[in-house]
Structure 1
Amino acid sequence: MLARPRRSVLYMPGSNAKALAKAATLPADAFILDLEDSVAPDAKEIARAQVIEAVKGDFGGREIVIRVNGPHTPWGTDDLIAAAAAGPDAILLPKVDGPGEIMLAARVMRENGAPERTRIWAMMETPNAILNAGQIAAVSADPASRLAVMVMGLNDLAKETRAKLTPGRPTMLAWLANCIVAARAHEIDVIDGVYNDIKDLDGFRAECRQGREMGLDGKTLIHPSQIDICNDAFAPSAAEVDGARAIIDAFALPENAGKGVIQLNGKMVELLHADMARRTLAIAEAIEAMSKVAA
């Protein structure tokens, strides 16, 4: 089973050359080199040039994503064309409302030389995105769509819906769950939104734990100080890895051949638990391999 860790996904402002240069030294699983919200209008073109140059660097096997401006802005089309030609691991589309925007961006990428490995990530940050989450995720079944990941944008959702973003996120849980179910139905990843209070590490840790328990694959970050906590929260624990190995080993025993249900340590274990165990091991092994490359 192939698995790519996306525990910690750090936004890096494209206009900040020092931050871009520092990215390769940070232990995040992925970096979003941002041309959108974190870049002032008068710095958009400079940021684009810096990001396109930064993509050429060595990030130790971590995933590199360019977030472009939307097609409704003066910079969106040029951003998408330049990002496609640069060939990052993925291009993050902001404010996606429906599946048509995914397919249109994929066509522009194809026409402008994007390598086949360059995927599309979609920001889920508008009311229409939440309403259309299933349709958006479903286009991943078409290889031409390139869709691989949905990214939650809860700050924008709070703005658009007037809902309060409070500790525990009670106003957002239904929207998060809707996107998680859509992603799982169509076998793509879904990444949690950012935590705004950089100094509140306990609150951040609690929100990471909540996201992991809900089934999210990782979390977007706004500061390097959040990386280690996030990596720990979304990584399989040693106990989970040991438990996964025990399940796989048990099903491999001759006496359990062909069985759909077995008993292990006094508990009923089904084949679905073996599938979950294989993914747990795949993620743990991928994390270990990536840490060796980065070192």
Structure 2
Amino acid sequence: MTPRSWLYVPGHRTERVAKALTAGADVVVVDLEDAVPAEQKTTARETAVRLAAEGSPVWIRVNDPAGPWGEADVDALAGLGVAGLRLPRSADPALVREVGTRADLPLQLLIESAAGLARATELATAHPLVAGLGLGEADLAADLRVTGDEGLAWARGWVVVAARAAGLPSPVQSVYTDVADLDGLRASTRRARDTGFVGRSVIHPRQIPVVHEIFTPSAAEVAAAQAVLDAAARAQERGEAAVLDGNGRFVDPAVVRRARLVLDLHHPSEPSPGGTS
């Protein structure tokens, strides 16, 4: 199923990790990178390995795999029972191929620089285990020297195109850093949904209900989607590729794909490995 919320939690704060696992997010992402001070990197990595040994279906954001911390993270988690790895600062397809081969786990690539953005289509197809693209917007904005949110609009559109062109899930929107501003989160998340993102990373449990509100279809949307699939099934039985449904709406394969996404979001309890920061 398609996840709506991806909750980050610092890996060295074991008490927070335990709470995050029961906070109601569709996916938990244990962070070994930005939220973890240098002196706690080993502790965070040990937490991730323990969760893997327990079979916990978490994602792990490792450190930059081009550096020693990231190399150690990948080596420690390679082949273990986590859902996958989020790779920060992704910009080099060759490095992604190396990590994919070493880790043997699904990879979500966080694009956080102009160099990474320029190679987004190459990154998306760098290794069969690449499961999603996304933006790390704070770092990307700094690298691009944009001063307002509108300066990232084209980058967001480009990562949506790069992901979908590679057959990957729609990207997961980056975090909204003002935890207290739930109205701003709601408006930002609605824009993300309308421009091709599905789901959002969050940094506090209080953000989860807002993200779920935006990405959970209404009862009317669910009913309409089911009607589309029913009409398509009847058309298939008659050997037709497109048909008008009972309300006079044209139903073709593209409309069916959209209806299936609506129903996936209506039943998000079994996350699929797509999407990211």
Tell me if TM exceeds 0.5. Answer: yes
Distance 1:64 1:106 in 2: 18
Following superposition, the deviation at residue 254 of structure 1 comes to 6.2
Following superposition, the deviation at residue 280 of structure 1 comes to 2.4
Which residue of structure 2 aligns with residue 113 of structure 1?
none
Which residue of structure 1 aligns with residue 190 of structure 2?
209
2:97 matches 1:103? yes
Query: What is the identity percentage for the equivalent residue pairs of Structure 1 and Structure 2?
Result: 32
Superposition TM-score, scaled by structure 1 size = 0.85
Letter in 1 for 2:110: M
Which residue of structure 2 aligns with residue 174 of structure 1?
154
2:23 matches 1:41? no
Following superposition, the deviation at residue 158 of structure 1 comes to 1.2
Distance 1:211 1:124 in 2: 17
Letter in 2 for 1:133: A
Paired residues of 1:91 and 1:119 also in contact (CA < 8 A): yes
Which residue of structure 2 aligns with residue 20 of structure 1?
17
Alignment partner of 1:96: what SS? coil
CA offset digits 1:144-179 (Å, max 9, x no partner): xx1101121000101111112x4xx31111001101
Paired residues of 1:21 and 1:54 also in contact (CA < 8 A): no
Among 153, 162, 174, the alignment partner of 1:193 is 174
Distance 1:255 1:198, change over 3 A: closer
Distance 1:255 1:155 in 2: 47
Following superposition, the deviation at residue 33 of structure 1 comes to 0.5
Paired residues of 1:66 and 1:83 also in contact (CA < 8 A): no
Distance 1:272 1:219 in 2: 24
Which residue of structure 1 aligns with residue 254 of structure 2?
272
Following superposition, the deviation at residue 186 of structure 1 comes to 1.5
Paired residues of 1:24 and 1:58 also in contact (CA < 8 A): no
Paired residues of 1:251 and 1:257 also in contact (CA < 8 A): no
Alignment partner of 1:86: what SS? coil
Distance 1:121 1:153 in 2: 12
Distance 1:129 1:258, change over 3 A: same
Which residue of structure 2 aligns with residue 138 of structure 1?
125
Superposition TM-score, scaled by structure 2 size = 0.90
2:49 matches 1:52? yes
Distance 1:240 1:17, change over 3 A: same
CA offset digits 1:229-278 (Å, max 9, x no partner): 11121122222211111112123336982333322313333232122223
Alignment partner of 2:82: what SS? coil
CA offset digits 1:83-137 (Å, max 9, x no partner): 2153311011110103212101012224xxxxxxx31111111111111111111
Which residue of structure 2 aligns with residue 239 of structure 1?
220
Structure 2, unaligned stretches of length 5 or more? 272-277
Following superposition, the deviation at residue 66 of structure 1 comes to 0.9
Alpha-carbon RMSD: 2.0
Distance 1:254 1:266, change over 3 A: closer
Distance 1:258 1:68, change over 3 A: same
Distance 2:161 2:58 in 1: 26
Alignment partner of 2:139: what SS? helix
Which residue of structure 1 aligns with residue 110 of structure 2?
123
Paired residues of 2:10 and 2:17 also in contact (CA < 8 A): yes
Distance 1:274 1:86 in 2: 36
Which residue of structure 2 aligns with residue 78 of structure 1?
72
Following superposition, the deviation at residue 289 of structure 1 comes to 6.1
Following superposition, the deviation at residue 288 of structure 1 comes to 5.2
Alignment partner of 2:251: what SS? strand
Letter in 2 for 1:279: L
Letter in 2 for 1:34: D
